Amino acid sequence: MVHSFFRWYVNAPLVFLIAGGLVVGILLAVFAPASIPVVGLLGQLFVGALKAIAPILVSVLVRDALAKKREASDSSIRPVLALYIIGTFCAALAAVAVSFLFPTELKLSVADANLAPPGGIGDVLKNLLLSVVDNPVNALIHANYISILAWSVLFGIAFRNASEATKSFISDMAEAVTKMVQWIIRLAPFGIMGLVAGTIGESGLGTLLGYGKLLAVLLGAFALVALVLNPLVVFLMTRKNPYPLVFATLRESGFYAFFTRSSAANIPVNMRLCERLGLNPDLYAISIPLGSTINMAGAAITITVLSLSAAHTLGIEIDLPTALLLSIISTVGACGASGVAGGSLLLIPVACASFGISNDIAMQVVGVGFIIGVLQDSCETALNSSSDVLFTATAEFAKRAEAGTLSAEDMIPRDRV
């Protein structure tokens, strides 16, 4: 009996299993609240496992890709980086536009004195540079992906002159870790069930009603970027219908990220999706973990909308040059946001400072962000993480389009489950 269930579970379409876990999680939270502590533990274990394996996965994949990289291999990261920056900046501009069309005001009465935001953009950039030279062991322990990437690139290049036996061992390690990731992802239905039950049981949805308009503006900006601006970028680069690829990334990457609320934890999911899209592993082994750190369109939207809401609340007039400056600050600040739940909120005081808003008031805005974070941060992370795959795929598909070898079928994941 157990063996039959296990065989059915392994072969069943994962998306249906996850949908079942989602429904069960909601039902348990509503009708069996006493079970939430136990069921919620499953969600914590799932996210913890993803966070634990992700740094190791990034490290071994990057080293393997560079150790055996052929000189003629076309895996330049520059087009992906350009798309990351352009996408984040356009998201900030979209957030400015939506905030001007639908200005919102806040009830600034939330105290949160224990948070320590950066002092300015200079601090953000300084922290990014210092994180590059972090001890590699410490970087693995604390999931410092900037440092992990830097050291893995150096090790990978150094291993190019290693013996074939050494390269084979590195490749075998990468395959073994990838297989472990697939096992963890297969447990997603139980993890999603626990995350949903825990979130609803802990916070509920009632706390969000008082900030309904602010949430509507944020979600509207997220949707505008995900369903209009990002598809436009894909179309301009590939000249193909972008929506099959856009919907695939939202469904298969954004869905996981919505519940894990961590771009870092979603790296293994994105790696798997890139593989199913037939992308070059030399490219996505670097671009996906890098994107989880610097590709932060959702974070730029959050920083911009909440900062402008503070300005509207205080009656501060915002002209177009100031709005453009805010977009630039939000873009740079978002690139320094941590890839964990709520990582973008501490960058809000940096943006508020451009309006002359005091740190005390700015930290109250951060407190509002944490109140609505149950939904805001989930949607933000879904946009951030799904666009990592979207822009990585777009950069590669654009090259195929120039060579005349790109078909519409290439933009659909293989072996859909």
Question: What are the domain boundaries of the chain?
Answer: 2-411
The secondary structure element, H or E, covering residue 22 is helix 14-31
Low-confidence ranges of the chain (pLDDT < 70): 1-3, 13-15, 68-75, 108-128, 145-146, 199-210, 336-343, 346, 359, 371, 374, 415-417
Residue matched to tokens 């969000």: 208
CA distance 327 to 308: 11
Let me know: does 195 contact 381? Beta carbons within 8 Å.
no
At 68 the pLDDT is 66
CA atoms within 13 A on the CB side of 212: 4
At 15 the pLDDT is 64
Tally Cβ neighbours within 10 Å of residue 140: 18
SS (H, E, C) 250-271: HHHHHHHHHHHCCCCCCHHHHH
Question: What are 74-85's pLDDT values in tens digits?
Answer: 457 889 989 999
What CATH code is assigned to 2-411?
Answer: 1.10.3860.10
CA distance 50 to 73: 30
If phi over 0 gives left and psi between -120 and 50 gives alpha, with beta otherwise, what is residue 231? alpha
Residue matched to tokens 């004195």: 113
What mean pLDDT, rounded, does the chain reach? 81
In this prediction the pTM is 0.74
At 238 the pLDDT is 93
Burial of 227 (0-12, 13-18, 19+ CB in 10 A): middle
* 360 Cβ neighbours under 8 A, 6+ residues apart: none
The CA R_g of the chain, rounded to the nearest whole Å, is 21
Question: What are 223-279's pLDDT values in tens digits?
Answer: 999 999 999 999 999 999 999 999 999 998 998 888 877 777 788 889 889 999 999
CA distance 69 to 75: 9
Let me know: does 395 contact 238? Beta carbons within 8 Å.
no
CA atoms within 13 A on the CB side of 82: 9
At 114 the pLDDT is 45
DSSP-assigned letters across all residues of 342-383: TTTGGGHHHHHHTTT--HHHHHHHHHHHHHTHHHHHHHHHHH
At 324 the pLDDT is 84
Question: Per-residue b/e over 368-384, b at no fewer than 16 CB within 10 Å?
Answer: bbbebbbbbbbbbbbbb
Burial of 395 (0-12, 13-18, 19+ CB in 10 A): buried
